[in-house]
Amino acid sequence: MAFSGNTILYVGPAYADRADHEIDGRGCMIIPGLINIHSHLGGGSIDKGVLDEAGAPALYGHALYTHSPLLRPDEKYTPAAASAALCELMLSGVTTTVDISGIYPQWLDLMGESGMRAVLGPGFRQARWVNIGDHRVEYDWDEEAGWKGLERALGIAEEAAAHPSGRLSGLIIPSQADTCTAELIQTAFREAEERDLPFQIHAAQSMVEFYEILRRHGLSPVQWLDRLGVLSERTILGHCLYLDQHSWSPLHTELDLQLLADRGVTVAHCPTVFGRTGMTMETAGGYIRKGVRLGIGTDSFPYNMFEELRHAAVYSRIVSGDVYDIRTADLFTAATVGGARALGREDIGRLSEGARADFAVIDTNHPMMRPLHDPLRNLIYVAAERAVRDVYIDGRQVVDNGHVVTLDYSAAHALEDDALLSAVERVPEYDGSGRTIEEIAPRCFEVR
């Protein structure tokens, strides 16, 4: 493979022209940079080691509405959390990421400094979830806040497009189907159409949301969004686990998958974050066979795309009871050209002439890659990020021999430790019962 500047010039068995610099690729495999279409980088790892085994039994085991909102890091730590997440993504071969975060002053400059190709989407909503005794979710509405959020998001999209790095762009994301009015969702979708931007929304991500949309509109979340006219090839649905055919659904109408396929929607599948609390898609292979477009995201920690690919495969086979339910090639496609297509790009997620020089160099001599029969299977199911040697984005090296060269990974983690300590101390202030984090989520073993 030959590249010049940020563009691939040649892919083939031999390169006849002169090269100014040669990267020794013997004993290596080159893969296109992975594309993460759904992640929260600004503080997404704050509950690492804290809420992994916590949830509200009366709310299907979710911590989303009850425990996660209690950990609120000081905003001064947001850049450090994002830096650590960016490092972990690049170390796992990610070259493009969608970052769904709140706006903070250093956001664009940090993305530019990292070298990452980033699609930035500040989420906005009109209602916040209110936890009632860990068994019921109510909604506190402020419709004007959502409209102001949309305006800010449009401004960020313009700033990203104008960034001197040339690697940043915008995305429009009303945060969740149950926290926005129909009018806001439809307006946001029209703005995305007019600006030719991707449109994303969390939908069908929990049974709490499923029942709330069913109660309000008599439809599943997917069917309601289709009635609003916002399902199209530009649309990405975050998670989309709980369809009308899901075993927990009261509907069993089996309309949702066909709607998603017919409209060309991409589902952002993030298996790890849900798997931690006993939930998963039923089944990823079934979505693909129905013709639904699939992309892969990390959501929160771990920011490791190989973990997501491995879990997507294993979970899907377990739930379906079929080793043939989903193939590794399908998942790798979802994490590369599938993600690119969801973002409206033909020049990333592939190794071809004219594409951007976004790629990872995999050391096939790494002990975890041996014995070597199918290197892609070895990479996804065994070696993962340990075999990633180098990563290039836009022709610039961002990982050199397993070390990030654009950001200070160690310094970012040190600040994350401070962020967690600060957040844990304030948990009783936000919990309705004044509980400490140890009461909500005890450690694995008693500390003495």
- The span from the CA of 96 to the CA of 244, in Å, is 32
285-321: string of b/e by CB count within 10 Å (b at 16+)? bbbbeeebbbbbbbbbbbbbbbbbbbbbbebbbebbe
Residue 3 falls inside a structural domain: no
Question: Among 40-49, 87-96, 206-215, which is the least confidently predicted range?
Answer: 40-49
Count structural domains, the chain.
1
- The span from the CA of 195 to the CA of 202, in Å, is 21
Q: Which amino acid is at 444?
A: C
Q: Is the pLDDT of residue 359 over 90?
A: yes
How confident is the prediction for the chain on average, in pLDDT? 95
pLDDT tens-digit readout, 78-125: 999 999 999 999 999 999 999 999 899 999 999 999 999 999 999 999
Got the DSSP string for 160-223?
Answer: HHT-TTS-EEE-B-BSBTTSS-HHHHHHHHHHHHHHT--EEEEES--HHHHHHHHHHHSS-HHH
- pLDDT-derived band of residue 216, with 50, 70 and 90 as boundaries? very high
- The span from the CA of 115 to the CA of 225, in Å, is 35
- pLDDT-derived band of residue 429, with 50, 70 and 90 as boundaries? very high
Measured at the CA of 105, the angle between CA 99 and CA 109, to 5 degrees, comes to 65
Residue with more model confidence, 422 or 229: 229
Q: Is the pLDDT of residue 361 over 90?
A: yes
83 neighbors 116 (Cβ within 8 angstroms): no
pLDDT tens-digit readout, 369-401: 999 999 999 999 999 999 999 999 999 999 999
Q: Is the pLDDT of residue 234 over 90?
A: yes
- The span from the CA of 251 to the CA of 220, in Å, is 8
Residue 10 falls inside a structural domain: no
Percentage with pLDDT > 70 across the chain: 100
299 neighbors 38 (Cβ within 8 angstroms): yes
Q: Tell how many helices (H) and how many strands (E) occur in the chain.
A: 16, 17
Predicted model pTM: 0.96
CA distances from 334 to 20, 284, 320 (A): 34, 11, 19
Residue 17 falls inside a structural domain: no
pLDDT tens-digit readout, 274-330: 999 899 999 999 999 999 999 999 999 999 999 999 999 999 999 999 999 999 999
3-state secondary structure of 267: strand
pLDDT at 130: 95
- pLDDT-derived band of residue 446, with 50, 70 and 90 as boundaries? confident
242 neighbors 210 (Cβ within 8 angstroms): yes
Residue 18 falls inside a structural domain: no
Q: Is the pLDDT of residue 413 over 90?
A: no
Q: Which amino acid is at 407?
A: L
Alpha helices in 233-270 (DSSP H): 256-263
Residue 439 falls inside a structural domain: no
Question: Among 309-313, 345-349, 353-357, 435-439, which is the least confidently predicted range?
Answer: 435-439
Range of the domain at 74: 27-429
Average pLDDT rounded to a whole number, residues 152-156: 98
Q: Which amino acid is at 191?
A: E
| 371 prior amide bond cis, ω within 30 | yes
Q: Which two tokens stand for residue 441?
A: 């989520």
Q: Which residue has the tokens 């690049």?
A: 90
The β-bridge partners of 138 are 130
Q: Is the pLDDT of residue 47 over 90?
A: no
Q: Which two tokens stand for residue 18?
A: 């002169």
- pLDDT-derived band of residue 181, with 50, 70 and 90 as boundaries? very high
pLDDT at 146: 98
- The span from the CA of 65 to the CA of 136, in Å, is 9
Residue 437 falls inside a structural domain: no
CA distances from 340 to 96, 337, 345, 395 (A): 9, 5, 5, 18
Residue 447 falls inside a structural domain: no
User: 307: domain CATH number?
Assistant: 3.20.20.140
- The span from the CA of 164 to the CA of 166, in Å, is 5
Residue 434 falls inside a structural domain: no
CB atoms within 10 A of CB 34: 28
Q: Is the pLDDT of residue 159 over 80?
A: yes
pLDDT at 92: 98
Q: Is the pLDDT of residue 48 over 90?
A: no
